[in-house]
């Protein structure tokens, strides 16, 4: 079923190149099913090649959740290939953020569970409210955590990933920060200002270098250390072909 215009993701490009994408899920916890996921995937993909986007900020409507999880009312009806198709759609949403050319910041108030946390883990930077709660509770409803739950051991380590995935228990923002699951935790009243501060800081940098650095980070996830080091020499040289090092270095020197 297609979404109404009021339910579709909202995208706003700020003058400095910060693209804000707002997810409109179901209820206060911003629950997402196939219609919401497909709309989010397509809305973000449409901006991937836009030359003016320097940073993407992902947020949910309201302050109860970024994405509170996947729609269990839809999932309980799934069987076989339909279940695979559902999770493939969620995988594609995560990938559109993980592979988005510009850095992606997740704004994380309230609850971020299951598929919502997988989407957040596919982002580059996670800024949360200090009273936020996180978890991967899929095992409690009879399904394994899959797709981008595979990011969890890289972020928090094997032991902590096992705890979250096998117990299904929630953790608070202070624990998530200590474990490396999130990058910042601030009071809810300061969340928008902190997200904007981080986004504006990156937006003040060169578009080409931000995209180059994100691409390198993704390559380093997949390649051995020797390959990553040697390939980065070529990337360093390529940066000087964009003109950004000369512009930003000269600006820095002129302030000295």
Q: Show the domain range for 46.
A: 10-203
88 is catalytic: no
**3-class secondary structure, 2:** coil
Domain count for the chain, please give it.
2
Compute the distance between CA of residue 13 and CA of residue 19 in angstroms, rounded to an integer. 4
Instruction: Kindly state whether residues 129 and 241 are assigned to the same domain.
Output: no
Asked if the structure places residue 101 within a domain, the reply is yes
Assigned token pair, 216: 């390198």
Give the pLDDT score at 5.
Answer: 60
Q: What are phi and psi of 22, to 5 degrees?
A: -110, 125
118 is catalytic: yes
Closest by Cα among 122, 119, 106, 92 to 59: 106
Q: Minimal CA–CA distance to 191: which of 104, 103, 62?
A: 62
Selecting among 20, 36, 118, 194, the annotated active-site residue is: 118
User: 188 with 158, same domain?
Assistant: yes
109 with 66, same domain?
yes
Query: Which listed residue (20, 36, 138, 194) is catalytic?
Result: 138
Q: Are residues 72 and 184 in the same domain?
A: yes
Q: Say whether both 223 and 102 belong to one domain.
A: no
Q: Which mean pLDDT values do the consecutive 10-residue runs of the chain (256 residues) have? A: 72 98 95 96 97 97 96 90 91 96 98 96 98 95 91 95 96 98 98 98 97 94 81 81 87 85
Same-domain check for residues 99 and 123? yes
In 153-185, which positions are buried (b, 16+ CB within 10 angstroms) versus exposed (e)? eeebeeebbebbbeebebbebebbbebebbbbb
């Amino acid at each position: 079923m297609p979404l109404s215009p009021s339910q579709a993701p909202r995208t706003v490009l700020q003058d400095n190149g910060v693209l804000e994408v707002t997810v409109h899920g179901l209820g206060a916890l911003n629950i997402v099913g196939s219609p919401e996921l497909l709309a989010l995937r397509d809305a973000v993909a449409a901006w991937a090649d836009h030359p003016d986007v320097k940073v993407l900020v992902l947020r949910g409507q309201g302050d109860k959740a970024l994405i509170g999880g996947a729609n269990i009312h839809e999932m309980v009806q799934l069987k076989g290939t339909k279940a695979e198709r559902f999770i493939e759609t969620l995988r594609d949403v995560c990938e559109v953020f993980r592979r988005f050319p510009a850095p992606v910041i997740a704004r994380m108030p309230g609850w971020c569970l299951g598929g919502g946390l997988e989407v957040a883990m596919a982002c580059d930077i996670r800024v949360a409210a200090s009273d936020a709660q996180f978890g991967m509770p899929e095992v409690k409803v009879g399904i394994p955590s899959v797709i981008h739950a595979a990011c969890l051991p890289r972020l928090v380590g094997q032991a902590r990933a096992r705890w979250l995935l096998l117990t299904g228990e929630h953790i608070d923002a202070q624990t998530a920060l200590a474990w490396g699951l999130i990058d910042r935790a601030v009071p809810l009243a300061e969340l928008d200002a902190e997200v904007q501060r981080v986004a504006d800081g990156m937006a003040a940098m060169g578009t080409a270098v931000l995209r180059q650095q994100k691409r390198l980070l993704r390559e380093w996830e997949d390649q051995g250390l020797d390959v990553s080091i040697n390939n980065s020499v070529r990337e360093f040289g390529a940066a000087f072909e964009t003109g950004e090092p000369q512009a930003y270095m000269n600006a820095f020197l002129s302030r000295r």
